[in-house]
Amino acid sequence: MKNEVIMLREGFSACPVPDDVKERIKGVTYKENSEIHMDDLSYLNIRYLDFSHNIADGEMIVHKSLAKEVLEIFEMLFEAEYEIEKIRLCDEYDGDDERSMADNNSSAFNFRNVAGTQELSLHALGRAIDINPLYNPYIVGEKISPANSAKFVDRGADFPHKINHHDLAFKVFASKGWQWGGDWTNSKDYQHFYKNKENLVKSAVDKIKKLVTE
């Protein structure tokens, strides 16, 4: 798939990762690996409303195959005046996911493992996005991430920026076929939206079935 330049409108664009950004992320959120190449990634400019309801511009890196729909998702959120505190590359936190989450930074690409495991995270493939993570923590057993989000663990409590099935972020991501970590059984990742790599064989079979039944 070609890594295209995409311009939805002012404030919402995607392009191959620029050389200056490549230098910023090398050795920080991007490490040489056999899973994903720099050319597989797209650099996005995203406009959003911050917690003061001011217009702000952020940056994000995702897999190039998801670039257009990620722009569309954030455009929909912006049009609906959905608030996101900040959207920065994790490189501003030296690639430290805990620091990024603790600062309530919404982000995507970071070549790292799932916390506490040796399994590669979908963030490492540019296929996951965390939204307002301080208010929407990752919970597994007694562990809470970020550590300063303990007061937001009770999802029955009433507080702003809480993601649940009624929240606009959930609805918009779901409309594009993304899954939500809040639906997991053995852990909960309320900040986490993700899209697994498409099974090309299954996709082809589904398309054939659709053609046959039409």
Residue 1 lies in a domain: no
pLDDT at 196 over 90: yes
Mean pLDDT of all residues belonging to the chain: 92
Model pLDDT, residue 3: 77
pLDDT at 204 over 70: no
What's at 168, amino acid-wise?
L
pLDDT at 210 over 50: no
User: 51-78: per-residue pLDDT in tens?
Assistant: 999 999 999 999 999 999 999 999 999 9
Model pLDDT, residue 197: 83
pLDDT average, residue stretch 146-157? 97
Contact of 1 with 63, CB cutoff 8 Å: no
pLDDT above 90 covers a percentage of the chain that reads: 86
The count of domains in the chain is 1
Q: Which residues contact 107 (CB under 8 A, 6 or more apart)?
A: 60, 87, 88, 89, 90, 100, 123, 129, 130
User: 100-122: per-residue pLDDT in tens?
Assistant: 999 999 999 999 988 777 789 99
Residue 118 lies in a domain: yes
Query: Which stretch of 54-68, 107-121, 135-149, 183-197 has the lowest confidence by average pLDDT?
Result: 107-121
- The span from the CA of 26 to the CA of 9, in Å, is 29
Residue 92 lies in a domain: yes
Categorize the per-residue pLDDT at 208 as very low, low, confident or very high, splitting at 50, 70 and 90: low
pLDDT at 199 over 60: no
- Full domain range(s) for residue 109: 6-213
